[in-house]
A and B are shown apart, each in its own frame.
Chain A
Amino acid sequence: MAEHELYEPVQNFVNLRFAPSVHPKYGFQYSIVEVTAKAGIYGEGQWTRPDLSLVTLWRNKYAPTLHLDLYGFEVKALGSASLLAVHEALAQGRLLHYSYLALHVDKENPLNSKIRESCRSHGVGLITFSNPRNPDCYNILESAQRGRPSLNAIDEFIESRFAESTRRKIEQLIRTGAYFDEESSSS
């Protein structure tokens, strides 16, 4: 499969397995993943466009504040993974809280151990998958370390890469605090 053909299956994995795995146990989470390979402003620098981006807006049940996290996923097709891809994901990390490299691997194209080492040392997350269409065939080998992008960078990223409807939804949830009162709603 070509890289662009992998976006949709990886998007399904992020929706069905990855985003739920970062959901607070008792709290609330709104998450949305979009293909951002071609989104963004031209001329704003090299390696600033993760192939997929996930935004999660979440809060714990007994915590008063909402948090926003940005995740980027750099997807590589079979046989196209290299150390350069790690640096690409690392560079994207300056705009994100978490940066992941997602690699399609099989028996003929196994994971190069140097890639895994490099991901670990740079705090880049590493995901491999053998069957892209089966979300249960994905392995999170390395968890990404949390980066500290500036608030302006976060605003810029969301403003320039996510769809207008997503941005409106995020704004609305921030305004309302994303509280769904269980008592009043069950009446």
Chain B
Amino acid sequence: MKVEQAFLNGKAFIPFLTCGYPDLETTEQMIYALARAGADLIQLGIPFSDPTAEGPVLQRASEEALRAGINTDGIFSLVKRVRAQVTTPLAFQTYANIVFSYGTDRFVGRMAELGVSAMILPDVPYEEKDEFDAICRKEGVSLIPLVAPTSGDRMAKIVRDAQGFIYVSPSMDADKMVGALRHLTSLPIVVDYGPGQFADLTTRADGVIVATIMEGVVEHGSTPDIVYDQARTMVAVMKGAGAQALVL
């Protein structure tokens, strides 16, 4: 399955989950809840001991998941179970060392086998992408490029030959960047509003990464039912008339 499918149904709603918090069974139930609620793509975070791109709440989730013994193979098994139930596109977000230490060939091969369409590695910039991208392309997995408000002139080369979608990293200028990127690429553009920030569901972008649902799981112990309700409301706002400038 190609990650592009996530953008066939209007603006894409892309919730983020930290795998294994509080445990893998709950993560599995959350995935079903999000899929039922109409998520277009689910971004699955594989915990890393030093998640330098995460905010404090999701960092805590990673640390606790690791303390509970979560590992890459456990997450692949989870995905295998999930894939038997749902067809929603899935993406992994993790760090270079998780993939590298597993063996990049082997890791990406497993992804392809299990139908995980995209990989987001925040500590792999354009300059270092080739060692991952070559294997991703071979396996039909999209390595998603990230752009930042400081990217400036780099944006053009980052999006050139990119696959899947363009990931706009958190900043105050995210929406402005969407405009600039439109001139450079025809790929879908997805905005991440960052830790603790409510997503602007009416954005001009083609999709929105939503971390607040997962943050609610960590901070308020949201159950899969609550997660379902929150996701459904967000989907309704995004896919509805879209006219109301409602920010959730």
Q: Do A and B bind each other?
A: no
Binding site for B on A (CB under 8 A): none
B contacts, CB < 8 Å to A? none
